[in-house]
Structures are given as C-alpha cells and as structure tokens.
A and B are shown apart, each in its own frame.
Chain A
Amino acid sequence: MAVKTQLNGRKVYVVDGARTPFLKARGKPGPFVAADLAVAAGQSLLARQPFEPDVFDEVIAGCVMPGPDEANIARVAALRLGCGDKVPAWTVQRNCASGMQALDCAAHNIASGRSDLVLAGGIEAMSHAPVLLNLEMVNWLADFSRAKKPLHKLKQLARLRGKHLKPVIALLRGLTDPVVGLSMGQTAENLAYRFNISRHDMDAFAVESHRRLAAAQDGGLLDEIVTLYDTQGNYYQHDDGLRRDTDMVSLSKLKPVFDRKFGKVTAGNSAQVTDGAAWLILASSVAVKKYKLPVLGEIVDSQWAGLEPAQMGLGPAYAMAPLLQRHKLGIEDVDYWEINEAFATQVLACIEAWKDDVFCHKELGLKKALGEIPHERLNVDGGGISIGHPVGASGARIVLHLLKVMQREDARRGIASLCIGGGQGGAMLLERN
C-alpha cells in the first residue's frame, strides 16, 4: 500500500537552486534591497538552466517585509529576471517559514498537475525594514495638510511635540508577537525555563554553529552560494556573519538582550538579523524529461502545525512528528536534519521535547518519547546563528542546503523544519534515490 502523504498526486522534484550570501545587517540599510537580492540569485540560477526563464508556469516567493516599492515582490523579481509578462507570480507570508511556504505551494501545484516548472524561494532584506511614523504623527500631518490658512498652519505647527517624532521600528514590531506581546527572544526564554536549558549549553551550541560554518566555508561545501555584486565595486561571496573567533569566553561576556537582567538569551546565541535570498527550481517528471533536468531530490511531504504563541520555538517538534508517523519512520531512518536556528535554546528545546515521554504523549499523542536527534546529523554546516536568518529566505535555504548535504553524503532521507513566530511549525520530508 502506498505511503500516505499530504502531497497527493504527481512527484515533485527539486532540480537546482541557488542563494545569495547572507549579509549581516550592520545598523544601516545594506547594499541590496530585497528585490535586488532576488534578482541576483535568480540570474545566476537561470543562466545555467537549459530552458529560457519564460517557460516557468509560475514564480512564488516568500517574504515577510518587502520594501515599499516591492508589493508582490515575486512578480517584481519574475519580471526583472526576464520571465516575461505571461508568467504569473505571487508572494506568500508565513513569517519565518515564508520561504518554505513558497516551496510548499509550488510543490502542491506540481503534484496536482497545475504546474510543471516553478521557481520558488524566499527573500528578505531585514536591514531595509521600514522605519515608520507613529500614529500621532500621521494624525498631526493630516491636520497640518488640512489647515489651509497660514494662521491655522501656524497653530498646527505649535502642536508638534517631541513624542510625534518617535519612529516605529517595523523590524522590532515584526519580531514581537502581535497577540501575546512577547518578543521572539522572550518566547525563547520561556523554552529555556521550561526545559531547563542552561546559558552554557546555548553558548556551546552557538560556538559549534560557527565552527561548522567555518569548516563548510573552508571545505567549499556551500556551492549553492552565488556571488553578489553591488554598485560600488564590491562583491560578496560568503555569509559574512561568521565569527571564526567566537568561543565560550567571548560569548559568556554578552548580556541578555530580551530579558535584560535575568535572562539567558543573548545576541550571540540567537540568529543574526541578515539580508538574503534563495531560489529553488521545482519540476514535475514531465518538465524533468522535457528539459533533461538533473534531479537533486524529491519533496515527499510537508506538514504545518500550530501551538501556543508563547512557545513558538517548539514549532519543529510539532511539525516534524506527523511526518515520521505518516511515513512510519523513526529518527534513525532520517539521515540529515535541518532545524532553523532562530535561537540556540529553541533548537535545544525541540530536541529535549522529543526525548520527553510526557511531552510526546500529551502534546504529540504518542505512546512514548521519539528519541534524540543526533547532533552530528543536525545542521551539519551551521545554521541561523552563524549564517543568519533573513526570515523570509531561511525556509528555502534549509531545504536547498539539506538536499545538497544529502547529495554530498549520498544520503536517502532528510527533514527540514522551522519554528514560526506567532506559534507555528513547518517541516518538509525530502528524499533522494
């Protein structure tokens, strides 16, 4: 009997993919807006394909905060990439999993027979997140432009106060849960408390993330990265958030940033605010045959899950479990894992949760604990803490990189997963033959 999947219909193949280096936000807007990143990654990817960009059935991109000139950024990217007027494009938003959502939508459309060849991915330029006027200022401006006579204008001018000038930093608001009011870092603190994860363990996890990325860079294991060129004569070939000199001593000096006095989550054991874009090409067997495309791997199934927003970092624990169950797999059947590192403590909490009989029984409806995901098979080339986490792009990055790892290690099965602000988890099951 066929294995049950939520991805019913035709097989969905990933044939190629590329991403930009992830560039750490350094206080000021970075050299590229989101659409520029999408175009740069896409141009390099499309240049090596045996087909022209206008044969895609659709283009789907995940992006949390496109710029003011980037409404439906997928369409902007598609047109700038030369896909032509006739290729439809749409943008999806599921916070930190937007990139994975784009892949999921593409996969479903291929499985159902609606599409044969889709460009899908994720984009985020967090350094370009808008700074907004506050509501009082907007009201003041409206009154000011309504005042017609000079005297009225003058009166209105006199009503301007310092508080009007306080900007709204969209990035900070975006990283705060809109319902329960906790910052993402505070939800991570919740998990550290609940699963009793020490500052030492978090920092050790972060050090290892940087060590693994450094090794991957030195070993040339990140060939999905394309070179980015800016307009000033600079070029970028590597994720520039990597800190080779990170160690326990330097990390231990950092102060908690979210629960300032008594917390454990620091900038050093959290994902970096970054800019980046990643694209994958998904194809049906029809397209694979027609254009003689090499198959990188197959998207077999996907799963979304919801949970309490204040515990959002546990999302992967909830999303990955049904995949194992549906396909009757144990932890040992999965060769490699990518769990996006939003926070060290959040990844560690997911591992702890799966080791816990009570959690697995009560929350996942299982008889007993699933077991322990082996560290040496999880995020083998680093993760969000060292690479960075451009929110809309990460979902696409981890799926692409997991496939690359599986190809390199000649592995059969992998699972990629992310936690999602607002209390969700998303996961994808990938296979290679």
Chain B
Amino acid sequence: MDEILKIEHLTKKYDDITVLNDISLTVKKGEVLVIVGPSGCGKSTLLRCINNLEDIQDGKVNIEGKTGMVFQSYELFPHMTVLQNLMLAPVKVQKRKKDEVKKEAEQLLERVGLSSKKDNYPAQLSGGQKQRVAIVRALIMHPEVLLFDEVTAALDPEMVREVLDVILDLAKQDKTMLIVTHEMAFARAIADRVIFLEGGSIIEDTTPAEFFDAPRSERAKSFLRTFEFEKVH
C-alpha cells in the first residue's frame, strides 16, 4: 500500500512547553489510525499540525493530497443552512458547479439520514445531527485523509452512536482516517492500528488487539485501567 502521510521528527512547542516531541509516523492509504492517550498528551495538537492549523518548530509533515477535519465542537457556520454549509467550500475553493455540488450534498445527506434537514440552520439541529453534517462537509471536499478530533466528546451519550456509525461506514469504504477518541470500544472496532501518545511522544504503535489486550508499556496499562470499573456490590 502507498504511503499517504509521512511525519518526520515533528516537534511542536508553545513557548517553552514541548507539546509534541520528535514524532515520526507514516500512514498508508486506506488505513484507519486511532490515536489515544490521556488529555493533554498532544493528540489534538498532532491532528492540528497535520492539518496545518499550527506552526511546527521542527520536522516535516508530508501529505499526498488534501486533508479534511471534523472538530469536537462541530464548527458549522451558524448563519448558513445545512446545504449552504456543505456547498460553500466546493463552490468557492474548488470552483465546482453549483448543481453538481448540490446533488452530491443531497446524496451524502441522505446517506447520513439527514435529507430532511438540508434547509435547516445548525441551531435547529441536535449535536449528533450537527456532527453528521460536519462530517459530510469534510467529505464533500474529497479529502485524501480525514482527521477526527474527539468528535463525540461534546455529545450526549445517546447521540454518540449515530456519529460513530457514520465513521464506521467510512472505514468500510477504505477511507484513510486519523481518529482521536476516548471511545475505547469504538477505537477497538474501527482501528487498523492504534497509537498511544503520552507527554508528546508515541509510547505504543501497534494493532488494536495487542494494545487493548496486551499493552506493553506500564503507562498504557494504567491509562486503559482508567476505563475499567470494579464491581461495587
């Protein structure tokens, strides 16, 4: 398989604080890479560096093609309808024809079960619906790599599933994805490969089965233990 993303010795600092320390990573076409780790470990920053939202102090990020990003807080444009949100970038940036973009937008909305919401404003949608629109908005640009930054962290529990199902569906279509998440069951189900990040460094880089069943590092073990509960009664 071809390499689609190659990160070499990436270092990111905010003033004196090192957030990412000498990260090297390659992602192949069609691979689903899940990035986990305690909060503040640099996982969101890593996605932001890949998406060129942060300047980096050292190293290189090489991407074959475009990236698309989905944010924890959706970040739909509140003054535009769902359809306008979806059509803005393809028409303005890619200079595609409106009719063609509209048709694709409607097809994609149908696939995520939101056809009836195309003329609604984001304020009229639930969190889960907003996030599904945000995913479609990234998809319609036909990015080579999709970046998901804790996309279910702001959602009510009953809405998490509808968003994760959309992402699972994308994995079946062999999209290349980098997913930062705290949903461990989801991570295990969707990942081809898991990266465990702590203190700005990659501690483990392995298969989901190995990471979840037999983590090598003490730090990964203690991280995974935070998701377990002892029986009380």
Do A and B share a complex? no
